[in-house]
Amino acid sequence: MNITKLTAHEIRDGYKNKAFTVKDVVEAFYKNIDEKDGDIKAYITLCKDNALKEADEKQSIIDGAISNGTFDELPLLYAIPIAIKDNMNTLGVKTTCASKMLENFVSPYDATVIKKIKEEGAIILGKVNMDEFAMGGSCENSAFFATKNPYDLTRVPGGSSGGSSAAVAGDLAPIALGSDTGGSIREPASLCGIVGLKPTYGLVSRYGLVAFASSLDQIGPMSKDVKDAAILLNAIVGHDEMDSTSANIEKKDYTKALINDVKGIRIGIPKEFYGEGLQEEVRVALEKAKDKYKELGAEIVEVSLPFTKYALPTYYVLACAEASSNLGRFDGIRYGYRTQNYESLKDIYKNSRSEGFGKEVKRRILLGTYVLSAGYYDAYYKKAQKVRTAIKEGFDKVFTECDVILTPTCPTTAWKIGAKTENPLEMYLMDLYTVPVNIAGIPGISIPCGKDNDGMPIGMQLLAKHFNEEVLLRTAYTYEMNKEV
């Protein structure tokens, strides 16, 4: 048996049946990392010593639980290895955001999500690559190295959570955490043929997530199947007083939503998501998925989201404005990179920032500063805040006509490394179908739905109303259970 191909829930079954030990599992992943990550380049930092130590400790707990019949009481993530996107603070481990600015930053605390998965007993394998400060859709903006798509090493894994998607798709971790500001979980999941869920804004605490655009950022699960996504989501949700935007709602058990049945569920097809720029093979795959749902008893309804075309420009105004403000904290004084070249305090600020930030990060800081500056604030920032309301209301209206919306996740499959680095706008267009979701704050999941002629994975996106993750998981799970492989 190849342990590294297993899902988290299959690994758990293996522990229960004594098919392998925790050490076998952890070692199998590090062996795969040794062999394959030189090519894929998903990991920035490995936590091997600690992971192996935990493996032994956890095995004795598992042994004890099996012998006294309490194994089923152990948390579902107990002794499950996981990869963490390198923008989540992890006590005593580097959190670099794939930036020279934080290259040597060692987290003095755990993000709330890290605290939660540690309480569940998950074993952190390491921290994975991303676009610098989560700004990008290809993982090429990492200050350290570009991550490759495990399906074809000449192609991008998507981004910004490209290290997370490549680690899961490349069998270098069974599950991973990613973060999504404009598609950064769903787009790389789509490009690497895995499952990626962006929860409703506010469902998962952002405390300890290095902020990019605070009104849009959400942490979520990335996994090989829908069941693992539900299990990991269960572990990370919950109100947190350390995040004032964290929703104070009753905790649910998302694994209860894993029901293989879509009868009666109304699936909306918004025509605006199937327009120009959509790769033909992706269109065909989505058509087949729609037919499959119909065959399974779902009701297909045509819907319209007229503000879709304004989502991307709105997003770039809002996200860059917030980023320019959030990244103001990097001053070379308290933490992060400090220039060698200074005499005055102002030199430290300016030179540290100029030497520490990469090209795309500077581009977004400049754009954000521009739209917030005197004379442009009303025309861009304030206007975008109003369009955000209009986009949100557009979704609210459509969700009176359907329960779930079905769209492509990304207009194309994974492209060649370097193909879209010249023109930033061309890269931004890859977020066309994912950004409206962040703007509206609703949940979205990307699941695989076929491959193109080159064998590259195609992803479909399902969307639902705020805090309706259950219907997403159910609809996604039903497709997964019934798709023709």
Partner 1 sequence: MDITRKDVEHIATLSMLNLNEEEIEGYTKDLQNIVSFAEQIQEVNTENVAESAFALDAYNVFRKDEVKESFNRDLLMQNAPSSNGVQYQLPPVIVD
Q: Which of residues 355-414 bind partner 1 (CB under 8 A)?
A: 357, 362-363, 365-367, 369-371, 373, 379-380, 382-390, 392
Measured CA to CA, the distance from residue 299 to residue 444 in angstroms comes to: 19
Q: Identify residue 39 by its one-letter amino acid code.
A: D
Quick check: 215 binds partner 1 (CB under 8 A)? yes
Between 147 and 324, whose beta carbon lies closer to partner 1?
324
354 as an active site residue: the answer is: no
Measured CA to CA, the distance from residue 166 to residue 181 in angstroms comes to: 19
Nearest-5° Cα angle at 139, 26 to 219: 65
Measured CA to CA, the distance from residue 25 to residue 41 in angstroms comes to: 21
Give min distance, CB of 477 to partner 1, in A.
25
208 Cα distance to chain centroid: 16
b/e map 415-451, b = 16+ CB within 10 Å: bebeebbeebeebbbbbbbbbbbbbbbbbbbbbbbbe
H or E segment at 459? strand 457-463
Quick check: 451 binds partner 1 (CB under 8 A)? no
Closest to 307 measured CA to CA, from 447, 181, 422, 440: 440
Residue 444 pairs with which residues in a beta bridge?
A: 198, 463
228 phi/psi in degrees, rounded to 5: -65, -35
Quick check: 181 binds partner 1 (CB under 8 A)? no
Taking 3-state DSSP, the helix, strand and coil percentages for the chain, each rounded to the nearest 5, stand at 45, 15, 40
Between 7 and 308, whose beta carbon lies closer to partner 1?
308
Single out the residue of 19, 103, 245, 290 in contact with partner 1 (rule: CB under 8 A): 245
Interface positions, 20-59, toward partner 1 (CB under 8 A) = none
Q: How many residues bind partner 1 (CB under 8 A)?
A: 74
Single out the residue of 255, 304, 351, 421 in contact with partner 1 (rule: CB under 8 A): 351
Quick check: 276 binds partner 1 (CB under 8 A)? no
The DSSP 8-state label assigned to residue 241 in this structure reads T
The DSSP 8-state label assigned to residue 398 in this structure reads H
Residue 94 pairs with which residues in a beta bridge?
A: 106
Between 354 and 482, whose beta carbon lies closer to partner 1?
354
343 Cα distance to chain centroid: 41
Quick check: 329 binds partner 1 (CB under 8 A)? no
61 Cα distance to chain centroid: 31
In this chain, which stretch among 136-144, 171-179, 211-219, 283-291 interacts with partner 1, using CB under 8 A? Answer: 211-219
85 as an active site residue: the answer is: yes
Quick check: 274 binds partner 1 (CB under 8 A)? no
Closest to 412 measured CA to CA, from 461, 462, 456: 456
**Spatial contact of 235 and 117, defined as CB atoms under 8 Å apart:** yes
Between 245 and 255, whose beta carbon lies closer to partner 1?
245
Give min distance, CB of 71 to partner 1, in A.
34
In this chain, which stretch among 54-62, 67-75, 263-271, 329-337 interacts with partner 1, using CB under 8 A? Answer: 329-337
Single out the residue of 38, 49, 276, 425 in contact with partner 1 (rule: CB under 8 A): 425
Ranges assigned E (strand) in 291-440: 299-303, 404-408
Quick check: 105 binds partner 1 (CB under 8 A)? yes
Single out the residue of 62, 101, 303, 442 in contact with partner 1 (rule: CB under 8 A): 442
Give min distance, CB of 83 to partner 1, in A.
23
Closest to 205 measured CA to CA, from 238, 160, 175: 238
Between 47 and 55, whose beta carbon lies closer to partner 1?
47
In this chain, which stretch among 57-65, 157-165, 209-217, 222-230 interacts with partner 1, using CB under 8 A? Answer: 209-217
Quick check: 336 binds partner 1 (CB under 8 A)? yes
In this chain, which stretch among 124-132, 143-151, 275-283, 439-447 interacts with partner 1, using CB under 8 A? Answer: 439-447
Q: Which of 160, 164, 190, 352 is catalytic?
A: 160
Between 106 and 153, whose beta carbon lies closer to partner 1?
106
Give min distance, CB of 145 to partner 1, in A.
23
Quick check: 108 binds partner 1 (CB under 8 A)? yes
Single out the residue of 52, 66, 348, 419 in contact with partner 1 (rule: CB under 8 A): 348
Measured CA to CA, the distance from residue 106 to residue 282 in angstroms comes to: 42
Give min distance, CB of 201 to partner 1, in A.
5
Biggest distance spanned by C-alpha atoms of the chain = 71
Quick check: 353 binds partner 1 (CB under 8 A)? yes
Active-site annotation, residues: 85, 160, 184
